[in-house]
Amino acid sequence: MAEDRRLTWDNCTNVRDLGGLKTRDGHVTRRGAVVRSDHPARLTAEGWSALHAHGVRTIISLGTEGMTEDKPDTAPRPGDITTVSVNIEDVTDHTSEFVQRWGTSDLWCTPLYYRDALKHWPERHANALKAIAHAQPGGVLFHCVRGVDRTGIVALLLLALVGVEADDIIADYELSVDPEREKLLAGENTTTREVLLNTLAALDVETYLRKGGMSQADLDALRARFLESSGAEDTENA
């Protein structure tokens, strides 16, 4: 894991830059390109100034179809920031397999539900990554309410796609500290690390995102936004 990537933005408590992570093919994720966070509506004026100074110009709000979680901004957000809403889950069908299994479970605040969510909503998850890929110039922030699980699943897909090692993907998730999560997982005789390792082992992320509707152009745009050029590429292009 690279040096501390956590960001201090007044009134948000779970913000970090996804830059500075090495990939298996020798690239590094670009700082300032993609940020994950809890809900930015909590930000004070000073917090919004810090977000803007970090270069964020697009905010992607990860929601759940059938749930209302909109929050009024504590302070006005800068006028040149675009906000995009993407629902990556759907609980409107109360008879669905997913809702029946997880809707009344405390475990929906743990990554135990990730594999079911991935199975049910490839198009919704692909739409979130397409929104990152094709955002306006500048940094992109994506968030849910706590900045843990919906944000975590999109971070997992993004980091896995560009080739960040599983250990670093898991370490990033674990920076969202939640003692209750660990207690719940212990009750299921497992751990965050074990659950995420199993999720990643079962996932061919590029095939999954293509199934969800991402084209090669979408994937290329996402990698171009998020990855720094390697030294070898710089030499070839000189």
**Torsion, Cα of 138, 142, 147, 149 (10° steps):** -140
Q: 38 lies in a domain?
A: yes
Q: 3 lies in a domain?
A: no
What pLDDT shows up at residue 122? 98
Average pLDDT over all residues of the chain: 94
Instruction: Specify the CATH number for the domain of residue 138.
Output: 3.90.190.10
Tally Cβ neighbours within 10 Å of residue 38. 21
Instruction: Give how many domains the chain has, as a whole number.
Output: 1
Q: What is the mean pLDDT of residues 13-36?
A: 97
What pLDDT shows up at residue 238? 35
pLDDT confidence band for 178 (50 / 70 / 90): very high
What pLDDT shows up at residue 235? 39
What is the span of the domain harbouring residue 79?
A: 16-227
**Torsion, Cα of 65, 194, 181, 129 (10° steps):** -30
What single string gives the DSSP state of each residue in 95-163? TSHHHHHHTT-GGGGSGGGHHHHHHH-HHHHHHHHHHHHTPPSSEEEEE-SSSSHHHHHHHHHHHHHTT
Q: 1 lies in a domain?
A: no
* Residues 75, 47 contacting (CB under 8 angstroms): yes
pLDDT confidence band for 20 (50 / 70 / 90): very high
Residue 42 DSSP class:
G
pLDDT confidence band for 148 (50 / 70 / 90): very high
* Residues 158, 135 contacting (CB under 8 angstroms): no
Phi–psi pair at 100, nearest 5 degrees: -60, -40
Q: 236 lies in a domain?
A: no
Q: 89 lies in a domain?
A: yes
Q: 4 lies in a domain?
A: no
